[in-house]
Structure 1
Amino acid sequence: MSVTIKTPEDIEKMRVACRLAAELLDYLTPFVKPGVTTEQLDKLAHDYMVNVQGSIPAPLNYSPDGHNPYPKSICTSINHVICHGIPNEKPLKNGDVMNIDVTVIKDSYFGDSSRMFYVGEVSDHARRLCKITYECMWKGIEKVKPGAHLGDIGHVIQQHAEKAGYSVVQEFCGHGIGKNFHEEPQVLHYGRAGTGLELKPGMIFTIEPMLNQGKRHLRVLADGWTVVTKDRSLSAQWEHTILVTETGYEVLTISDGTPPKPVFH
């Protein structure tokens, strides 16, 4: 597994791309409300990236091996959609929860982040799932430092999720990122502490746990992209891009509107 250690120049450019991804999510936030379509959100995002940020929407026409090209500029995954939901003309309803996943390319570098959004008034059980998923991401982030192992991240996420009664999706994971959308290493959100790749300063990767309210099993819809829970239970996901520093970590996907780090008791 060859993991690129980023140079100081790479890191500087990644800071910019990742900040832009976070600022795009800030920009979209006030538009997320009942009656709005995800198609409208996609258009807003596309125009903001191209015309305001001077960035390129990475998902648009992205076609990894064997996939038909992804047709939109962001992913919008609602309720029981785990990930890669394709924006469409259906209006959002009061009570929906939605993940918006954005990746921008700026000066050839990729910045990747996602957040959960509440549409109108949402149920307590949906809110709890989103909160625990956010805590899982942060528990994973807090394990990042030189000398730690990828398994430490997966282990703490899985423990926190299962203790709360949720299951962790295992087919999708975090990933290295830089001048490519997806690089080594793969960052699993389950596993054993002390196992896996040792972390070194200059590594950059995403941590993006997906938790289901029911079982972890999934299926992919006929469009080849949309991934849903097999039992149609709710799913949630959060994502940050993380740099391993000399002493710990730096969250690169930070902006004025980024939700604060949770307080663990």
Structure 2
Amino acid sequence: MVEIKTRAEIAAMREAGRIVGIALEATRKVAAIGVSLNELDEVAHAVLREAGATSPFLGYKPSSAPVPFPGVICASVNDVVVHGIPNNYRLRDGDLVSIDFGATLHGWTGDAAITFTVGTPRPSDLELIAATRSALEAGIAAAVPGGRLGDISAAIGAVARGAGYGMPQGWGGHGIGRTMHEDPHVSNEGRPGRGMLLRPGLTLALEPMLIAGGKDRYFTAKDGWTIHTADGSRAAHIEHTIAITEEGPQILTLP
């Protein structure tokens, strides 16, 4: 069921989203050569504790997962597309890092992700990040009342495919609000003019995931969570929670 939020509820989601933005900024600030993924997880966890918020990631266990997720961030490095588990891996010069994070405050949730480089960046990584950000911006711009869900999907996919990148099939964004994952699913590729009507009060997490090698194939690691590109090429993942309003789309996960 798709839930339409009131202005007051969207304002409450913005407060949860602000915590998400602060935590992502904090993790990016400390991410440097030699810092472990567990240390980044603890930085984000400290933001939650200070804000009196909880994590929708920690302990989350969909039916497809063998164990509950053990961190408050997903930390995905280089060829990991999404859902990397924080561990003792220490960041190296040139690593490409995606951090996905969520926060729940007073019963409302925000979810966002960033991708960045550590140390000396590869030009190809910077191009991948820029394309992923452009795909997200295109999707947000298409999230207007009177449009269709397929307009968002088509806008994201057009940027990604136009730049020559792959996208993991079946993955995409989602509705969000009282829980992290609500209806509808938002594909990262689709046909304009199709799908449900976009109405003010609809809140979505849009999250393009681009694969540098241009292929769409991926595999799941033995841990049951970590999604790797099948060809070993690098991946980027950028996400915002947004609200569709009469004034246009509004980003809710800014610090």
Shorter-chain TM range is: over 0.9
Q: Indicate yes or no: 2:52 matched with 1:54.
A: yes
Matched residue count: 253
Q: CA deviation at 1:31?
A: 0.4
The DSSP-based 3-state class of the residue aligned with 2:210 is: strand
What does the per-residue CA deviation read over 1:167-192, in whole Å, with 9 as the maximum and x for residues that have no partner? 12222110000111100011111011
What is the CA distance between 1:64 and its match in structure 2? 1.5
1:90-140, Cα deviation, whole Å (9 max, x unpaired): 110000011100001111111101101210111101110011000000011
Letter in 1 for 2:102: T
Matched, 1:74 2:73: yes
Superposed CA RMSD = 1.0
Residue 246 of structure 2 corresponds to residue 246 of structure 1: yes
SS at match of 1:112: strand
Query: Using the alignment, how far apart are the partners of 1:170 and 1:197 within structure 2?
Result: 21
- Unaligned runs of 5+ residues in structure 1 are 256-265
236-245 vs 165-174, which deviates more? Answer: 165-174
Partners of 2:22 and 2:47 within 8 A in 1: no
Give the match's secondary structure for 2:38. Answer: helix
Q: 1:231 is matched by which residue type in structure 2?
A: D
Counterparts of residues 73-222 of structure 1 (less than 5 Å): 73-214=72-213, 215-222=215-222
Displacement of 1:29? 2.0
Which stretches in structure 2 are left out of the alignment for 5+ residues?
A: none
TM-score, normalising length: structure 2 = 0.97
Q: 1:226: how far off?
A: 0.2
Do the aligned partners of 2:23 and 2:43 also contact (CA within 8 Å) in 1? no
Residue identity matched to 2:204: F
1:148-202 deviations in Å (ceiling 9; x for gaps): 1111111121111111111122221100001111000111110111111110000
Q: Distance in 1 between matches of 2:64 and 2:233?
A: 28
Q: Retained in 1: the 8 A contact 2:5–2:201?
A: yes
Q: Which residue of 1 aligns with 2:224?
A: 224
SS of the equivalent of 2:159 reads: helix
Q: Distance in 2 between matches of 1:247 and 1:111?
A: 20
Identity within the alignment, %: 38
- TM-score normalised by structure 1 residue count: 0.93
How far residue 24 of structure 1 moved from its aligned partner, in angstroms, is 0.9
How far apart are the structure 2 equivalents of 1:186 and 1:38? Answer: 29
SS in 2 for 1:148: coil
Runs of 4+ with >4 A deviation: none
Alpha-carbon deviation of 1:8? 2.4
